[in-house]
Amino acid sequence: MARKTKEEAQATREGILDAAQACFHEHGVAGTTLAMIGSRAGYTRGAVYWHFKNKTEVLEALINRDRIPFIQRLRRTSSTKRSTPVIDLRSALLVSFQELADDERLRNMMEIMLRNDLSAESQAMQELQRDSTREELDIIALAFQRARDLGQLRDNVDVATASRILHASLSGVLYSAMLEPELFDLMRDGAEVIDIVFAAYVQPGTFIPGAPASPLPDGDDE
Protein backbone atom coordinates (compact mmCIF):
# COMPACT_ATOMS: atom_id res chain seq x y z
CA MET A 1 0.00 0.00 0.00
CA ALA A 2 1.40 3.38 -0.99
CA ARG A 3 2.28 5.65 1.89
CA LYS A 4 -0.51 8.14 2.47
CA THR A 5 0.15 11.81 2.83
CA LYS A 6 -0.72 13.48 6.10
CA GLU A 7 -3.69 15.19 4.43
CA GLU A 8 -4.98 11.91 2.98
CA ALA A 9 -4.63 10.16 6.33
CA GLN A 10 -6.54 12.96 8.06
CA ALA A 11 -9.27 12.82 5.42
CA THR A 12 -9.55 9.05 5.90
CA ARG A 13 -9.73 9.49 9.67
CA GLU A 14 -12.49 12.11 9.38
CA GLY A 15 -14.42 9.88 7.00
CA ILE A 16 -14.20 7.01 9.48
CA LEU A 17 -15.41 9.26 12.30
CA ASP A 18 -18.34 10.50 10.21
CA ALA A 19 -19.30 6.92 9.39
CA ALA A 20 -18.89 5.86 13.01
CA GLN A 21 -21.20 8.60 14.21
CA ALA A 22 -23.85 7.57 11.70
CA CYS A 23 -23.57 3.92 12.76
CA PHE A 24 -23.64 4.70 16.48
CA HIS A 25 -26.69 6.91 15.99
CA GLU A 26 -28.56 4.32 13.92
CA HIS A 27 -27.54 1.09 15.65
CA GLY A 28 -26.29 2.16 19.08
CA VAL A 29 -22.82 1.70 20.45
CA ALA A 30 -23.27 -1.99 21.33
CA GLY A 31 -24.83 -2.76 17.93
CA THR A 32 -21.99 -1.21 15.92
CA THR A 33 -18.80 -2.98 14.87
CA LEU A 34 -15.59 -1.62 13.37
CA ALA A 35 -16.39 -3.62 10.24
CA MET A 36 -19.73 -1.81 9.95
CA ILE A 37 -17.97 1.52 10.36
CA GLY A 38 -15.45 0.65 7.66
CA SER A 39 -18.17 -0.48 5.28
CA ARG A 40 -20.16 2.71 5.88
CA ALA A 41 -17.05 4.82 5.25
CA GLY A 42 -16.07 2.84 2.15
CA TYR A 43 -12.85 1.55 3.69
CA THR A 44 -11.60 -1.88 4.74
CA ARG A 45 -11.65 -2.91 8.38
CA GLY A 46 -7.86 -2.75 8.23
CA ALA A 47 -8.02 0.94 7.37
CA VAL A 48 -10.18 1.51 10.42
CA TYR A 49 -7.74 -0.42 12.63
CA TRP A 50 -4.86 1.63 11.26
CA HIS A 51 -6.44 4.70 12.87
CA PHE A 52 -8.26 3.19 15.87
CA LYS A 53 -7.59 0.10 17.98
CA ASN A 54 -11.19 -0.34 19.11
CA LYS A 55 -14.62 1.28 19.41
CA THR A 56 -13.63 3.05 22.62
CA GLU A 57 -10.91 4.95 20.76
CA VAL A 58 -13.42 5.84 18.04
CA LEU A 59 -15.88 7.16 20.62
CA GLU A 60 -13.20 9.19 22.37
CA ALA A 61 -12.09 10.72 19.07
CA LEU A 62 -15.70 11.55 18.16
CA ILE A 63 -16.32 13.24 21.50
CA ASN A 64 -13.07 15.21 21.38
CA ARG A 65 -13.66 16.34 17.80
CA ASP A 66 -16.64 18.40 18.91
CA ARG A 67 -15.60 18.97 22.51
CA ILE A 68 -12.17 20.56 22.00
CA PRO A 69 -13.48 23.68 20.18
CA PHE A 70 -16.16 24.08 22.88
CA ILE A 71 -13.60 23.82 25.69
CA GLN A 72 -11.25 26.25 23.96
CA ARG A 73 -14.09 28.74 23.63
CA LEU A 74 -15.10 28.24 27.25
CA ARG A 75 -11.57 28.70 28.57
CA ARG A 76 -11.31 32.18 27.07
CA THR A 77 -14.15 33.43 29.25
CA SER A 78 -11.87 33.75 32.30
CA SER A 79 -9.15 35.68 30.46
CA THR A 80 -7.39 38.22 32.68
CA LYS A 81 -6.97 40.38 29.57
CA ARG A 82 -10.71 41.10 29.52
CA SER A 83 -13.15 42.58 32.01
CA THR A 84 -16.41 40.99 30.81
CA PRO A 85 -16.35 37.36 32.04
CA VAL A 86 -20.13 37.24 32.56
CA ILE A 87 -20.87 38.47 29.05
CA ASP A 88 -18.17 36.23 27.58
CA LEU A 89 -19.42 33.13 29.40
CA ARG A 90 -23.01 33.87 28.43
CA SER A 91 -21.98 34.39 24.80
CA ALA A 92 -19.91 31.20 24.70
CA LEU A 93 -22.88 29.19 25.95
CA LEU A 94 -25.32 30.89 23.57
CA VAL A 95 -23.04 30.21 20.60
CA SER A 96 -22.76 26.57 21.62
CA PHE A 97 -26.53 26.16 21.87
CA GLN A 98 -26.95 27.86 18.49
CA GLU A 99 -24.44 25.46 16.95
CA LEU A 100 -26.37 22.51 18.37
CA ALA A 101 -29.65 23.91 17.13
CA ASP A 102 -28.27 24.46 13.62
CA ASP A 103 -26.12 21.34 13.16
CA GLU A 104 -27.80 17.94 12.94
CA ARG A 105 -24.45 16.19 13.21
CA LEU A 106 -23.79 17.81 16.59
CA ARG A 107 -27.28 16.92 17.80
CA ASN A 108 -26.81 13.31 16.72
CA MET A 109 -23.55 13.16 18.65
CA MET A 110 -25.30 14.53 21.72
CA GLU A 111 -27.97 11.84 21.41
CA ILE A 112 -25.29 9.13 21.24
CA MET A 113 -23.70 10.49 24.41
CA LEU A 114 -27.02 10.67 26.26
CA ARG A 115 -27.91 7.06 25.51
CA ASN A 116 -26.64 4.33 27.77
CA ASP A 117 -26.28 0.57 27.40
CA LEU A 118 -24.28 -2.10 29.13
CA SER A 119 -21.47 -2.29 26.58
CA ALA A 120 -17.91 -1.69 27.71
CA GLU A 121 -17.66 1.14 25.18
CA SER A 122 -20.72 2.92 26.58
CA GLN A 123 -19.33 2.58 30.09
CA ALA A 124 -16.05 4.09 28.89
CA MET A 125 -18.02 6.90 27.27
CA GLN A 126 -19.81 7.53 30.55
CA GLU A 127 -16.45 7.86 32.29
CA LEU A 128 -15.33 10.33 29.62
CA GLN A 129 -18.49 12.32 30.24
CA ARG A 130 -17.84 12.38 33.97
CA ASP A 131 -14.34 13.70 33.36
CA SER A 132 -15.76 16.26 30.94
CA THR A 133 -18.29 17.46 33.49
CA ARG A 134 -15.59 18.03 36.08
CA GLU A 135 -13.48 19.95 33.57
CA GLU A 136 -16.41 22.10 32.46
CA LEU A 137 -17.34 22.89 36.07
CA ASP A 138 -13.76 23.97 36.78
CA ILE A 139 -13.68 26.23 33.73
CA ILE A 140 -17.07 27.82 34.51
CA ALA A 141 -15.92 28.38 38.09
CA LEU A 142 -12.86 30.24 36.80
CA ALA A 143 -15.12 32.58 34.82
CA PHE A 144 -17.35 33.16 37.83
CA GLN A 145 -14.29 33.74 40.03
CA ARG A 146 -13.04 36.31 37.54
CA ALA A 147 -16.47 37.96 37.72
CA ARG A 148 -16.27 37.97 41.51
CA ASP A 149 -12.83 39.59 41.42
CA LEU A 150 -14.32 42.34 39.23
CA GLY A 151 -17.31 42.85 41.54
CA GLN A 152 -19.79 41.44 39.04
CA LEU A 153 -21.34 38.75 41.26
CA ARG A 154 -23.97 39.32 43.90
CA ASP A 155 -22.83 39.34 47.53
CA ASN A 156 -22.26 35.96 49.19
CA VAL A 157 -22.48 33.98 45.93
CA ASP A 158 -20.61 30.68 46.16
CA VAL A 159 -18.74 30.20 42.90
CA ALA A 160 -18.83 26.38 43.06
CA THR A 161 -22.58 26.38 43.68
CA ALA A 162 -23.25 28.82 40.85
CA SER A 163 -21.17 26.67 38.49
CA ARG A 164 -23.04 23.48 39.43
CA ILE A 165 -26.46 25.08 39.07
CA LEU A 166 -25.60 26.54 35.67
CA HIS A 167 -24.17 23.26 34.40
CA ALA A 168 -27.07 21.19 35.74
CA SER A 169 -29.64 23.59 34.26
CA LEU A 170 -28.06 23.51 30.82
CA SER A 171 -27.70 19.73 30.94
CA GLY A 172 -31.41 19.52 31.69
CA VAL A 173 -32.25 21.59 28.62
CA LEU A 174 -29.99 19.45 26.43
CA TYR A 175 -31.49 16.20 27.68
CA SER A 176 -35.07 17.46 27.43
CA ALA A 177 -34.60 18.80 23.90
CA MET A 178 -33.08 15.50 22.76
CA LEU A 179 -35.88 13.50 24.40
CA GLU A 180 -38.83 15.72 23.44
CA PRO A 181 -37.80 18.07 20.61
CA GLU A 182 -41.41 19.06 19.97
CA LEU A 183 -41.78 20.38 23.53
CA PHE A 184 -38.32 21.81 24.17
CA ASP A 185 -36.36 24.11 21.90
CA LEU A 186 -32.59 24.09 22.32
CA MET A 187 -31.94 27.74 21.51
CA ARG A 188 -35.08 29.25 23.02
CA ASP A 189 -35.00 27.28 26.27
CA GLY A 190 -31.21 27.28 26.53
CA ALA A 191 -31.06 31.06 26.28
CA GLU A 192 -33.88 31.42 28.82
CA VAL A 193 -32.18 29.14 31.34
CA ILE A 194 -28.84 30.91 30.93
CA ASP A 195 -30.41 34.30 31.67
CA ILE A 196 -32.43 32.99 34.63
CA VAL A 197 -29.36 31.46 36.28
CA PHE A 198 -27.19 34.49 35.57
CA ALA A 199 -29.83 36.83 36.99
CA ALA A 200 -29.76 34.86 40.24
CA TYR A 201 -26.01 35.22 40.74
CA VAL A 202 -24.85 38.27 38.77
CA GLN A 203 -25.06 41.92 39.76
CA PRO A 204 -27.88 43.77 37.94
CA GLY A 205 -26.71 45.62 34.87
CA THR A 206 -23.78 43.29 34.20
CA PHE A 207 -25.53 41.74 31.21
CA ILE A 208 -28.71 42.37 29.23
CA PRO A 209 -31.21 39.48 29.41
CA GLY A 210 -32.37 38.42 25.96
CA ALA A 211 -29.47 40.12 24.19
CA PRO A 212 -27.74 38.19 21.40
CA ALA A 213 -24.28 36.76 21.94
CA SER A 214 -21.51 39.35 21.97
CA PRO A 215 -18.32 38.86 19.96
CA LEU A 216 -16.22 36.23 21.69
CA PRO A 217 -12.57 36.66 22.62
CA ASP A 218 -10.19 35.10 20.12
CA GLY A 219 -7.37 32.69 20.85
CA ASP A 220 -4.97 35.45 21.78
CA ASP A 221 -7.09 36.25 24.81
CA GLU A 222 -6.77 32.84 26.45
Give residue 118's pLDDT. 66
Higher pLDDT, 173 or 2: 173
Of 72-81, 96-105, 189-198, 212-221, which gets the smallest average pLDDT?
Answer: 212-221
The answer to whether 48 and 38 are in contact (CB under 8 A) is yes
- Mean pLDDT, rounded, for 9-30: 93
By the 8 A CB rule, do 44 and 38 touch? yes
Query: 102 or 218, which is more confident?
Result: 102
Q: Which of 114-118, 140-144, 201-205 has the lowest mean pLDDT?
A: 114-118
Looking at residue 8, its pLDDT comes to 85
What pLDDT is stored for residue 18 in this prediction?
96
- 24 to each of 39, 57, 120, 164, 214, how far by Cα in Å? 13, 13, 14, 30, 35
| pLDDT in the model for residue 219 | 64
Q: Looking at per-residue confidence, does 118 or 83 come out higher?
A: 83
Contact status, residue 186 vs residue 110, Cβ threshold 8 Å: no
Cβ-contact 116, 122 below 8 angstroms: yes
From the CB of residue 217, how many other CB atoms can be counted at a distance below 10 Å?
Answer: 19
Angle at 117 between CA 98 and CA 72, to 5 degrees: 35
Q: What would the mean pLDDT of 67-89 be, rounded to a whole number?
A: 94
Distance of alpha carbon 222 from alpha carbon 67, whole angstroms? 17
In sign, the C-alpha dihedral spanning 171, 162, 136, 66 is positive
Q: Tell me if residue 202 falls in helix, strand or coil.
A: strand
Q: Are 82 and 203 in contact (CB under 8 A)?
A: no
pLDDT of res. 149: 97
Mean pLDDT across 112-122: 77
Global model pTM greater than 0.85: yes
